[in-house]
Amino acid sequence: MKAFTYHSPTNEQAAVRLLGAGAVPLAGGSSLLNLLKERVLEPERVVNLKAIPGLAGIEAAGEGLRIGANVTLAALLENAEVRRAYPALVQAAETVGTPQIRNVATVGGNLCAPPACWYYTHEGFPCPRKGADHACPAKAGENEYHAIFATDGPCVAVHASSLAPALVALGARLRVVGPGGAREVEVEKFFRLPRAGEHRENVLAADEIVTHVTLGPARPRSATYAVLHKESHDWPVGLASVSLQMDGDTARAARVCLGAVAPVPWRAPGAEAAFPPVRPPPERGGWGFTTAGMGRLKSTVGPSPAFTTNFMLPPCSLRVSCSSWILVAKSSASRTLRSRTDRTTYCSARPMAWSGPSPTPTRMAPSFTSE
């Protein structure tokens, strides 16, 4: 890798002063170090953020929690209050890497992770995200794991964060610090679609950092469902996070966000609109869609061989609900549910050719049960 100067500031403002042109922040380093070794990034300065006090804790904040950006994913998974109040976030963190990776990867680093596209991470390919005056090579190349939504921009790599869809579904906010002080940004508005001449995945300036994630009131009726090609270390082929807004025993609304399908975490308003206020029928023991809601859902996402009428949400488990949501929400531009013999293009906005085998995915349903 290219030689650089290493800095380890001990407060937020010192870190901000060191950042800017020619510098990159270092959190856990599980993504950054690979990019440095491949010379995809060649900074003059690497600014370590782990020495800043106050960014590695989880504490109460009003009715919710405040999570430091330097909290590791392993620490997040071990926190009893996070597991109780935000199961969608826990299940999302469980899909990231291996135990060794989760021991060093941080919440802030995962949210700001660069794309894992093989054209971007390999120094031998010209890529517009790396500043090359060249069309996105994935559009005419190997793109089996690339975006199926928002593909009309200069880059079709999917966003790398597995935590982001869960945080969007939970309505979380970020504290961002820069030269002008601190500001708050909704997680949903933190990410931005690729634009010509711009190479950042989010709204951070080069001299800004994320310091905390703030979650609102507990959302125990939430879950994340991931589709993987294998049960071991793998990037998700598709991911869905769902959070229900409850009024006693009545589910008033749902927030649904998809991951690994677009350059940003992708809200699914059509799926959300298909979930009208319902109460759990005593004879069925769970929530279900009304006939009108089922009709809206079908018209929103189109027909699907995976579509069933068994959209049950038992009061003690969200597994069936989340698996149903991701199967239906992705069916109109399905990549993960096609058969081995299906060789059609899968991009709804711009047809994209792809080649290579299409192994049957493993569906990893969440195991967390709420009380």
Q: What's the pLDDT tens digit per position in 183-199?
A: 999 999 999 998 877 77
What residue ranges do the domains of the chain occupy? Answer: 55-215, 222-364
Quick one: average pLDDT of 285-294? 46
| pLDDT at 306 exceeding the cut of 70 | no
Q: How far apart are CA 57 and CA 76, in angstroms?
A: 9
Element (H, E) at 12: helix 12-18
**CA 72 – CA 88 distance, rounded (Å):** 17
Q: Is the dihedral of CA 232, 233, 238, 243 positive or negative?
A: positive
Which has the closest alpha carbon to 239: 267, 214, 258? 258
Burial (CB count within 10 angstroms: exposed 0-12, middle 13-18, buried 19+), residue 12: buried
Q: Residue 304 class from Cβ within 10 Å (0-12 exposed, 13-18 middle, 19+ buried)? A: middle
Beta strands in 145-297 (DSSP E): 173-178, 181-186, 209-215, 222-228, 238-247, 250-259, 266-267
Max Cα-Cα span within the chain: 67
Residue 83 near residue 74 (C-beta atoms within 8 A): no
Tell me how far apart the alpha carbons of residues 35 and 38 are, in angstroms, rounded to a whole number: 5
Q: How far is CA 110 from the centre of its chain?
A: 8
Residue 65, pLDDT > 60, answer: yes
How many other CB atoms are found less than 10 A from the CB of residue 123? Answer: 13
Parallel/antiparallel/unpaired status of strands 45-48 and 5-7: parallel
Spatial distance between the Cα atoms of 344 and 216, rounded to a whole number of angstroms: 42
More confident residue, 368 or 27: 27
Which amino acid would we find at residue 263?
Answer: P
Please give the structure tokens belonging to residue 190. Answer: 């933190």
Same fold, 55-215 and 222-364: no
User: Worst-scoring range by mean pLDDT, 29-33, 224-228, 239-243?
Assistant: 224-228
For 244-265, give the DSSP string. EEEETTEEEEEEEEEESSSSS-
Residue 253, pLDDT > 90, answer: no
| Partners of 62 in beta bridges | none
CATH of domain 55-215: 3.30.465.10
- 212-237 pLDDT per residue, tens: 999 999 999 999 988 887 777 778 88
Q: With beta carbons less than 8 A apart as the criterion, state whether 9 and 51 touch.
A: yes
Q: Tell whether domain 222-364 is in CATH 3.30.390.
A: yes
Contact 287, 294 (CB under 8 A): no
Task: Choose among 73, 58, 91: nearest CA to 219.
Answer: 91
pLDDT at 365 over 90: no
What whole-number distance in Å separates Cα of residue 139 and Cα of residue 133? 15
Would you state the pLDDT for residue 336?
34
